[in-house]
Structure 1
Amino acid sequence: MGTTGTTHQTHPVGFGAVAATYPARTAVVDPDGTQVTFGELAARCHQLSHALRAEGLVPGDCVVAMTPNRRAYYELRLAAGQIGLYLTPVSHHLTAPEIAYLVTDSEAKAVFVDASLLKAAGPALDEAGFADEGRFVIGGGEGGGGPWRDYEELLAGHPVTPPPDVTAGDVMGYTSGTTGRPKGVRKPLSGRPPEVTPFVRDFMARLDIRPGPGVHLVVSPLYHAAPGTFSSIALSFGHTVVVAERPDAEQILRLVERHRVNVLFTVPTMLHRIVRLPESVRNRYDTSSLRSVVHAGAPCPVEVKRRAIDCLGPVLTEFYGATEGSATALTTAEWLTKPGSVGYPLAGSELRIVDVEGRPLPAGETGTVYFRLPAPFEYFKDPAKTSGALLDGFFSAGDVGYVDEDGWLYLCDRRTDLILSGGVNIYPAEIEEVLLLSPEVADVAVIGVPDEEWGRRVVAVVQPEADVTPGAGLADRLIENCRSRLAGFKVPRRIEFTQRLPRTPSGKMLRREVRDRYANP
């Protein structure tokens, strides 16, 4: 939490510098409206840092946090971040065996759990054989499979001043695990005081996010990489962070108006829901304070983005990356000149598109996307997986795409989602974009299912809007619309209907679940 200098004379950068300069500025607003200032938040982070050191934790150790969207997330992240610890946020939607795996695999020395989640966490820690003395409950309470130490008692009596010898920690997030077991993404610690790096400053500037007074709205789960990281950077820039939990589209607009929000991180699924709101509902709310509505996490259909720009103004920004690192970014103005692009390489990054044998492809040709990361990483305790994700020092998340003659990146789909039918590559995202143009479609997933003749055939699983009746008539209309916009081999051979498609809390489609359910005729 040390001072890292300023990008402008009047705007300190770094949480510690902001807290020292503006201790009375509101830092975090919890979902229930409770507020904490920068000075108050810094004091609690310092107490927690001293307490963790007193517990025997040393640089390189890991602590696990299992909390809803609450202020405690930032206390843990900031405290770990100034005494050289790794913080691993864990989703409370996981099962006990999944939580136990993460706690064990991360080699956690302490686990912090919100009182509302003890019933899920207790059995998981019991299964992991995790020691009672390392279990801390936030918000008081007993139960959940064993004794818990109180979080407030842990902090009590420790100094509210910065700990000596501050040294930067980091977040060790786990990959989503939608295929196979998740692995921790671990980056080497710098051994220096915490800082906002030039890469981060440049990255944020590309998204029109800058130091100074501002308001950042959190609408996605903080245990995911981007929402947690972006809002933590917001604190380091001096922004007030307004935390929401599972808001719907209209509630997001209401929060933007109420708090005069400047920056919002979201996903294409939520943008789709916002543009689908009746115009009379959208027009109730003043969203003119918005400066940067950042989206990432999945390809955003071109038409959805156009409509979102019409609704919210030319404030949409986008980046492409993964838990392992980020590669590109672009603004609305740039996107309008390059519709469908996910951006131009960030400073220090570089793109490479390769064929199935790893050979570089020229502009315009589709292949696997690799990019140079701003910092090295490893999958914790899995050197084979680490080396498998790298090619000559470049990293790939498994996405398929191409760059144009000017170097702008366009994504087609993920390699694992690609459908090979009759020897032809079919990209589900392209078909989904067409289906989402229908006002009768709330959500859609396109998959490939086994076919004796073609190898795979295209099936669309559609979630109709609430007031739309599924059936043969709707299927015929959707297929006809696809025929008017897509080559014949891309048109779904079958359309299935479902009340709700499975998505993670961050909005990512769980295609494996869809494939498992609809793979058979």
Structure 2
Amino acid sequence: MKHYEDNFAHDHLPPEDLQPDYIWDQEDFQFPENLNCVDRLLDDHIKNGRGNSIAIRTFEFTWTYQDLYEKSNQIAHILADDLGLVSGNRVMIRSANNPMFVACWFAILKAGGIVVATMPLLREKELSVMIESAEISHVLCDVRLIDALSEVKLPFLKQVCTFDGSDENSSELEKLMASKPTTFQNYHTLSNSLALIGFTSGTTGKPKMTAHYHKDVLLICEAFPKYSLQPKPEDIFTGSPPLGFTFGLGGMVLFPFYYGASTFLIEKPTPELLLKAFTEYKITICFTAPTAWRVITTLVKDYNISSLRKCVSAGETLPLKVWEDWYAATGLKIIDGIGSTEILHIFISSNEENMRKGATGLPIRGYEAKIVDETGNELPANESGRLAVRGITGCKYLNAPDKQKEYVENKWNITGDIFKKDEDGYFWFVARGDDMIISSGYNIAAIEVENVLLVHEDIAECAVVGLPNEERGMLVCAYIVLKDSAKANENMAKSIQDWFKVKAAPYKYPREIHFVEALPKTETGKIQRFKLKH
């Protein structure tokens, strides 16, 4: 079935036999065949007379649902009328967490485009790989972040249009919006038309593109929020993850808007600013990473957080000590969870009734999970093995059949995490099954960092590992063999770090550098990273 005029994304979906099994056995997981998720998330609020309800707040300004609806419609007109968007085109958003990001996100789907949201920290090399891989034709970019994008020169890229996320209304997009109608006829997508492409962390090598349908966007709103949050229209959501992460997109856009609540967006969400928002804006639900919860716990006594009712942690496993310290300080239980870009959001978690501290939790409504060995056989209780998941959403890599076969085995999603399951069915995190480094909530692939370092003119070889760190969870640590070992000193280490921050997203840079004469290797020449993880 042809979904769009530009069918690139649908043409590169994995065949059904390589996709996982899907389970939609409950009534609230059924959606009509004709479906644009924006109708449910935004337009229906206007139809139902809730236009004057607050949708988005920041420290500077407030948008109602009506404001968001009208601005999204105006941007959709610009995409369709001025920028030459045809349905199915991939459109990148480059922005921090602000209301214009959200308006652009809805506008792209209204106009029949496919959203590719990115993090503000990405640099030219990473953006180029994404634009080339997804054959992105249009970019909507916050004018404050245009520098890295202006270096990108690719034939697919037809239009770059800037907006001003600081709400100064002084950029290209806002000027075009001034003359556009505030209503728009949403493109008639199907429930299994692609809505978004999320890139996994391997964006300096060949990145993996995860694809998600319009119905997937709504399905996750029926899963984790109902299971763990019980959202109400009075709720005010906030958090720290970028909206370019599906964790942030769900927690701070999809979930609040699905339930008619509001979101509070912070462009640079430090623990102090999160606490300020809790106090001044009566936040009720917060999504952030364990590293942030650790810092917030040390500061919380100076703030009034009496409005806060749900605390969600994901992005890396939640240490028991962080959970206990927060509970001792506030009486609130942090809800841990594991999700993935491939599955779109959290699939194992807990709620206040079934929480077992230290455990990640139980499969949430809409999902089932098991622990399997290397051949896919289910393991008995308390044996560590590979986590396998299936349910209402699942992995659909674009244009990567080999990677699809790795992630989906026997119709189950294999997440790359090592877990064990106890006698009561609770899942307990053991380790990452690959060389992924999770630092301060960011997923950093060791191979990505190595690929950047190997470009440096003084580096002969390198190996990157994650080392445990109390503040960040893990630290990116590089073991480097220099071409000239006489140059190995602290100044060279600092020079490499500074160089790296220019070449790639700064959060990926190696915070520790060790110069070595040689790297440990197997007889076949493969680097033995495990020997460096001491």
Structures share a fold, TM > 0.5? yes
Matches for 1:129-278 after TM superposition, within 5 Å:
129=155, 131=157, 134-139=159-164, 150-167=172-189, 170-177=195-202, 180-189=205-214, 196-197=218-219, 199-233=220-254, 234-277=256-299
| 2:54 alignment counterpart | 26
The 3 A distance-change label for structure 1 pair 317 and 385 is: same
Q: What is the deviation of 1:247?
A: 3.1
In the alignment, is residue 14 of structure 1 matched against residue 54 of structure 2? no
| 1:328 alignment counterpart | 348
The 3 A distance-change label for structure 1 pair 444 and 17 is: closer
Tell me, in whole angstroms, the C-alpha distance in 1 between the residues paired with 2:513 and 2:433. Answer: 15
Which amino acid in 2 is paired with 1:151?
Answer: L
Matches for 1:358-507 after TM superposition, within 5 Å:
358-417=376-435, 432=468, 436=470, 442-443=471-472, 445=474
| 1:461 alignment counterpart | none
Tell me, in whole angstroms, the C-alpha distance in 2 between the residues paired with 1:516 and 1:344. Answer: 40
In the alignment, is residue 311 of structure 1 matched against residue 335 of structure 2? no
Q: SS state of the match for residue 286, structure 2?
A: strand
Which amino acid in 1 is paired with 2:278?
Answer: V
Segment drifting more, 509-518 vs 40-49: 509-518
CA contact (8 A) 2:143 2:171 kept: no
Q: What is the deviation of 1:15?
A: 1.9
In the alignment, is residue 342 of structure 1 matched against residue 360 of structure 2? yes
CA contact (8 A) 1:207 1:318 kept: no
The 3 A distance-change label for structure 1 pair 286 and 189 is: closer
| 2:15 alignment counterpart | none
CA contact (8 A) 2:56 2:63 kept: yes
Which amino acid in 2 is paired with 1:238?
Answer: G
CA contact (8 A) 2:395 2:408 kept: no
Q: What is the deviation of 1:71?
A: 0.9
The answer to which structure, 1 or 2, has the higher relative contact order (CA under 8 A, 6+ apart) is 2
Tell me, in whole angstroms, the C-alpha distance in 1 between the residues paired with 2:476 and 2:120. Answer: 28
> Would you say how many aligned residue pairs link Structure 1 and Structure 2?
424
Which amino acid in 1 is paired with 2:244?
Answer: Y
Matches for 1:45-56 after TM superposition, within 5 Å:
45-54=72-81, 55-56=83-84
Tell me, in whole angstroms, the C-alpha distance in 1 between the residues paired with 2:225 and 2:296. Answer: 24
Q: What is the deviation of 1:342?
A: 0.9
Spell out, residue by residue over 1:329-357, the C-alpha distance to the aligned partner (whole angstroms, 9 max, x if none): 2124432xx22111111223111211223
Q: In structure 2, list runs of 5 or more residues that go unmatched.
A: 1-26, 29-38, 438-464, 480-496, 517-531
Which amino acid in 1 is paired with 2:44?
Answer: A
Tell me, in whole angstroms, the C-alpha distance in 2 between the residues paired with 1:376 and 1:302. Answer: 29
Which amino acid in 2 is paired with 1:241?
Answer: T
Tell me, in whole angstroms, the C-alpha distance in 1 between the residues paired with 2:280 and 2:301. Answer: 14
Tell me, in whole angstroms, the C-alpha distance in 2 between the residues paired with 1:137 and 1:378. Answer: 31
Tell me, in whole angstroms, the C-alpha distance in 1 between the residues paired with 2:323 and 2:123. Answer: 35
The 3 A distance-change label for structure 1 pair 447 and 86 is: closer
CA contact (8 A) 1:231 1:241 kept: yes
| 1:484 alignment counterpart | none
Q: What is the deviation of 1:375?
A: 2.4
Tell me, in whole angstroms, the C-alpha distance in 1 between the residues paired with 2:67 and 2:267. Answer: 23
Tell me, in whole angstroms, the C-alpha distance in 1 between the residues paired with 2:41 and 2:412. Answer: 30
Q: What is the deviation of 1:284?
A: 2.3
Q: What is the deviation of 1:266?
A: 0.3
| 1:117 alignment counterpart | 145
Tell me, in whole angstroms, the C-alpha distance in 1 between the residues paired with 2:277 and 2:58. Answer: 12
Which amino acid in 2 is paired with 1:329?
Answer: S
In the alignment, is residue 106 of structure 1 matched against residue 127 of structure 2? no
Q: Percent identity?
A: 22
Q: What is the deviation of 1:208?
A: 1.5
| 1:42 alignment counterpart | 69
The 3 A distance-change label for structure 1 pair 520 and 302 is: closer
| 1:73 alignment counterpart | 101
The 3 A distance-change label for structure 1 pair 42 and 102 is: same
Segment drifting more, 153-162 vs 213-222: 153-162
Cα RMSD after superposing both structures: 3.7
Tell me, in whole angstroms, the C-alpha distance in 2 between the residues paired with 1:289 and 1:402. Answer: 35
Spell out, residue by residue over 1:357-404, the C-alpha distance to the aligned partner (whole angstroms, 9 max, x if none): 332211211001110142244222111111111111111221001111
| 2:490 alignment counterpart | none
Q: What is the deviation of 1:154?
A: 3.8
In the alignment, is residue 285 of structure 1 matched against residue 303 of structure 2? yes
Spell out, residue by residue over 1:442-462, the C-alpha distance to the aligned partner (whole angstroms, 9 max, x if none): 445389999xxxxxxxxxxxx
Q: What is the deviation of 1:178?
A: 7.5
Segment drifting more, 102-111 vs 313-322: 313-322
CA contact (8 A) 1:266 1:296 kept: yes
Q: SS state of the match for residue 84, structure 1?
A: coil
Q: SS state of the match for residue 246, structure 1?
A: coil
Tell me, in whole angstroms, the C-alpha distance in 2 between the residues paired with 1:294 and 1:324. Answer: 20
The 3 A distance-change label for structure 1 pair 386 and 214 is: same
Q: What is the deviation of 1:80?
A: 2.2
Spell out, residue by residue over 1:39-76, the C-alpha distance to the aligned partner (whole angstroms, 9 max, x if none): 01101111222332334433322100101221111111
Q: In structure 1, list runs of 5 or more residues that go unmatched.
A: 6-11, 142-147, 420-427, 437-441, 451-498
Which amino acid in 2 is paired with 1:313?
Answer: G
